[in-house]
Structure 1
Amino acid sequence: MKLNVFGVDIAKDVFQIHWVDKAGKARSEKVKRQHFLEWFSNKAPSLIAMEACSGAHHWGRCFQQMGHQVRLIAAHKVKPFVIGNKNDMVDAQAIWTAVQQPQMRFVAVKSVEQQAALSAHRMREYLVKTRTGSINAIRGFLADFGIVIARGRTAFKREIAGCLETLSQTVPKEFADRMYERVAYIHKLDDDIAGLEQHITAYFKGCPQCQRIAKVPGIGVLSATAIVATVGDVSQFKSGRELSAWLGLVPKQTGSGGKVKLHGISKRGDTYVRTLLVHGARSAITHSKHPSEWLQQLLVRRPKNVVLLALANKTARVVWALLSKEAEYSETQYSQVS
Structure 2
Amino acid sequence: MQDVTLVGIDLGKHTFHLHGQDGKGKVIFRKKLGRKQLIEFFNTFHSCTVVMEACAGSHHMARKLTTFGHQVKLISPQFVRPFVKSNKNDFVDAEAICEAASRPAMRFVTPKTESQQTLSALHRVRESYVRDRTKTINQMHGFLLEFGVSLPVGKATITRLPAILSEHALPPRLVAIIERLRDHFQCLGEQIGEIDKEMARQLAEDDLGQRLLTIPGVGPITASVLSAEMGDGKQYGCSRDFAASIGLVPRQYSTGGKTNLLGISRRGDKNIRRLLVSCARAYMRHVDKQSGRLAEWVRAMLTRRHSNVVACALANKLARTAWAITARHTVFDPELARSMT
Instruction: Please give the range of the TM-score, normalised by the shorter of the 2 chains.
Output: over 0.9
Partner of 2:72: 70
1:12-65 Cα distance to aligned partner (Å, 9 max, x none): 100011111589334211001121211101122211111111111111111122
Partner of 2:249: 250
1:263-305 Cα distance to aligned partner (Å, 9 max, x none): 0000111100011100001101112312432222111011111
- Offset at residue 89 of structure 1 (A): 1.0
Mapped contact 2:4–2:20 kept (Cα < 8 A) = no
Partner of 2:285: 286
The DSSP-based 3-state class of the residue aligned with 2:149 is coil
- Offset at residue 126 of structure 1 (A): 0.9
Q: Say yes or no: does 1:332 pair with 2:331.
A: no
1:14-93 matches, within 5 Å, as 14-21=15-22, 24-93=26-95
Cα distance in 2 between the residues matched to 1:65 and 1:161? 58
Mapped contact 1:49–1:72 kept (Cα < 8 A) = yes
Mapped contact 2:6–2:22 kept (Cα < 8 A) = no
The DSSP-based 3-state class of the residue aligned with 2:29 is strand
TM-score (normalised: structure 2): 0.93
Mapped contact 1:118–1:230 kept (Cα < 8 A) = yes
- Offset at residue 323 of structure 1 (A): 1.2
TM-score (normalised: structure 1): 0.93
Q: Which stretch has the larger CA shift, 102-111 or 300-309?
A: 102-111
Cα distance in 2 between the residues matched to 1:81 and 1:273? 29
- C-alpha spacing 1:159/1:76, structure 2 compared with 1 (3 Å): same
Q: Say yes or no: does 1:320 pair with 2:290.
A: no
CA RMSD, Structure 1 to Structure 2 (Å): 1.8
User: Paired residue for 1:137, among 100, 119, 139?
Assistant: 139
Cα distance in 1 between the residues matched to 2:44 and 2:23? 17
Partner of 2:180: 181
1:96-150 Cα distance to aligned partner (Å, 9 max, x none): 1111212222111111111111111111111111111111011110001101111
Partner of 1:13: 14
The DSSP-based 3-state class of the residue aligned with 1:178 is helix
- Percent identity, aligned pairs only, is 35
Q: Which runs of 5+ in 2 are unaligned?
A: none
- C-alpha spacing 1:257/1:26, structure 2 compared with 1 (3 Å): farther
Cα distance in 1 between the residues matched to 2:262 and 2:126? 33
- C-alpha spacing 1:219/1:22, structure 2 compared with 1 (3 Å): closer
Q: Which stretch has the larger CA shift, 93-102 or 262-271?
A: 93-102
Letter in 2 for 1:134: T
Partner of 1:230: 229
The DSSP-based 3-state class of the residue aligned with 1:332 is helix
Letter in 2 for 1:270: D
Mapped contact 1:108–1:233 kept (Cα < 8 A) = no
1:71-115 Cα distance to aligned partner (Å, 9 max, x none): 111111111111122221111111111112122221111111111
1:295-320 Cα distance to aligned partner (Å, 9 max, x none): 22111011111111111111111111
Partner of 2:312: 309
Q: Say yes or no: does 1:165 pair with 2:166.
A: yes
Cα distance in 2 between the residues matched to 1:243 and 1:22? 32
Q: Which runs of 5+ in 1 are unaligned?
A: none
Aligned residues: 332
Cα distance in 2 between the residues matched to 1:3 and 1:313? 43
The DSSP-based 3-state class of the residue aligned with 2:80 is helix
1:172-222 Cα distance to aligned partner (Å, 9 max, x none): x33322221111011111011111112211221111011011101011111
Partner of 2:198: 199
The DSSP-based 3-state class of the residue aligned with 1:209 is helix
Cα distance in 2 between the residues matched to 1:255 and 1:333? 31
Cα distance in 2 between the residues matched to 1:58 and 1:165? 54
- C-alpha spacing 1:49/1:165, structure 2 compared with 1 (3 Å): farther
Partner of 2:301: 298
- C-alpha spacing 1:324/1:90, structure 2 compared with 1 (3 Å): same
Cα distance in 2 between the residues matched to 1:22 and 1:248? 35
Partner of 2:209: 210
User: Paired residue for 2:124, among 112, 122, 125?
Assistant: 122
- Offset at residue 335 of structure 1 (A): 5.4
Cα distance in 2 between the residues matched to 1:152 and 1:63? 50
1:260-271 matches, within 5 Å, as 260-271=259-270
Cα distance in 2 between the residues matched to 1:53 and 1:100? 19
Mapped contact 1:108–1:231 kept (Cα < 8 A) = no
